[in-house]
Amino acid sequence: MEKAADNDNIELVEKHLPGDWQQGKSLGACMVELFDRGLWTDVKFHFKNQEQEQMIQAHRIVLAARSPVFQAMFFGPCADGKTEIELKDVEKDIFLLFLRYIYSDTVTLNEENASAVLGMAHYYQVSGLVKLCADFLATVITPNSYCEILTFAMFYNLTSLKTSCCSFIDSNAEQVLKSDCFLDLSAECLLYILKGDTFFAKEEEILEAAERWSRKKLLQSGEEDNGTNIRKNLGESFYQLRLPTMTNKALLDYASKKCYFFTEEYANIAAYINKVPDVNLSTNSCVPRVAEVESLTVNIDDGCVYERCEPKDRLSITYNFFISKDVALSNFVFSEIKPYLQNHYYSTTELPDSIDLILSGSIIIKCLEFEQTFTLRQQQHENVKIDISPSLVLRKRETPYCVEINIKHECIKIQMKTTLDRNNKRISNDTGNISVCSVGDGNFSVIKSIGFLNFPNRESDKNVDTESTE
């Protein structure tokens, strides 16, 4: 009788279908029609506290083609042949979004549903939808949501989403440390954040926030609030506090009377801060935190004048990059370049700014077999940035990287002037991990600044170009 009723329903649906409904539609559009109209379905999903008519019908063969979990459920060795499935802990609206992706490769996400859809996609191993949800969540990270999204990313081990969360956290470190959300982090998430070399803020502010986090957990557990328990409760996170990078005064003010250390431990940290040689640090990391993005200003001589330079057919300069910690080369910002027209008898005439000429250039690092060409428009003038894409990894090494920059006009009668390079000294960042100096006899300063990316070092970096430095 039940089979006969199903046949009657199919006949009823087919009566109301135009005979040529498939015409002019793509495969994807036809699949959506099958789902939306409930045509020739062979499985039904029921939901807790939902009426019978609120069930969703689908096609086992389509679900199995898109999900290894459905494949095992319907056609695997342990398949039980059921055509009606009860989903007790699943919201119908979320499952409907999930199934629509199965049939159409499209999904409508918002801040309210993305996490639930991702969880379902992860459970049924639909990787394309997992990525879509993770990419969407990466766009809605805020000071009020980073905790929840990072927790979610850690639970499902979503590397790209973890990276996006931590990039936001690192870029807003001071705001993050003061937020109530910070106190709600799990121990795993707290450790992951503090491990980052690019979680850049004053270490005493990080210490204070970690203390507040630990005290909240102690209050919830009913344990006594003292230095010993605060350290114990922080667990591995305590060792990621970079106390040896603080000043001696900051260490005294923020850690000396809190009983976090044995006497010998505190003495070793104080000795390290005071640069006592051969100090053995068995507790906290002594790696200084650095900003994720930093720039070295190369052309810093504001007294340079164009009149002292002779126009050249080609601007070229070579720099030595000294790298003592792995970084990525991100961009170059160019100085202003003025065009001159070459006249007879070697005389030149400065051209007006309104003339829009094309300049071509190259960045060459021979030891990496790296070369990137680029073009500039003359009207862009100063502060034109050329991005290195993808960012180029420069591994720590004893010898410098030799970086050559060349610029020329396409027109053979056009020459160029830029500021003089009067700085032959090495210019370094605050930690001294990166330093740059010009080499050779050239007196043009083609580059104004150089951009670098520091690695967070929370886990292996898989999203940057890893060309060999050998």
- Binning pLDDT at 50, 70 and 90, where does residue 462 land? very low
Are the C-beta atoms of residues 454 and 290 closer than 8 Å to each other? yes
Beta strand segments in 308-460, E: 314-323, 327-334, 338-342, 348-350, 358-365, 370-377, 384-394, 401-409, 414-417, 427-428, 434-439, 447-454
Residue 124: the pLDDT is 96
Least confident among 16-25, 71-80, 430-439: 16-25
Query: Which of 143, 144, 160, 161 shows the shortest CA–CA distance to 152?
Result: 161
Dump pLDDT digits (tens) for 307-361.
455 666 777 888 899 999 999 999 998 877 777 676 655 566 666 666 667 888 8
Give percent of the chain above pLDDT 70: 80
| pLDDT higher than threshold 60 for residue 71 | yes
Dump pLDDT digits (tens) for 93-146.
999 999 999 999 999 999 999 999 999 999 999 999 999 999 999 999 998 899
Model-wide pTM > 0.85: no
Q: How far is residue 338 from each of residues 231, 332, 377, 423, measured CA to CA in Å? A: 60, 18, 11, 21
Check whether domain 293-454 has CATH 2.60.120, yes or no:
yes
Residue ranges per structural domain of the chain? 41-138, 202-273, 293-454
d(CA 69, CA 78): 12
| pLDDT higher than threshold 70 for residue 251 | yes
Q: How far is residue 199 from each of residues 167, 337, 458, measured CA to CA in Å? A: 9, 37, 10
Dump pLDDT digits (tens) for 388-407.
989 999 999 999 999 999 88
Q: At what angle do helices 114-123 and 146-155 cross, to 10 degrees?
A: 0
| pLDDT higher than threshold 60 for residue 16 | no
Query: Which of 130, 195, 208 shows the shortest CA–CA distance to 169?
Result: 195
Q: Token pair for residue 183?
A: 């106190």
How large is the average pLDDT for residues 218-233? 93
CA dihedral over 433, 434, 440, 445, signed as positive or negative: negative
Residue, of 442 and 403, whose pLDDT is higher? 403
Are the C-beta atoms of residues 154 and 188 closer than 8 Å to each other? yes
| pLDDT higher than threshold 50 for residue 10 | no
| pLDDT higher than threshold 90 for residue 13 | no
- Binning pLDDT at 50, 70 and 90, where does residue 297 land? confident
| pLDDT higher than threshold 60 for residue 15 | no
Average pLDDT score over the chain: 84
Dump pLDDT digits (tens) for 156-203.
999 999 999 999 999 999 999 999 999 999 999 999 999 999 999 999
| pLDDT higher than threshold 90 for residue 381 | no
- Binning pLDDT at 50, 70 and 90, where does residue 446 land? confident
Homologous superfamily of the 41-138 domain (CATH): Potassium Channel Kv1.1; Chain A (3.30.710.10)
Strands 84-87 and 338-342: unpaired
DSSP-derived letter for residue 17 is S
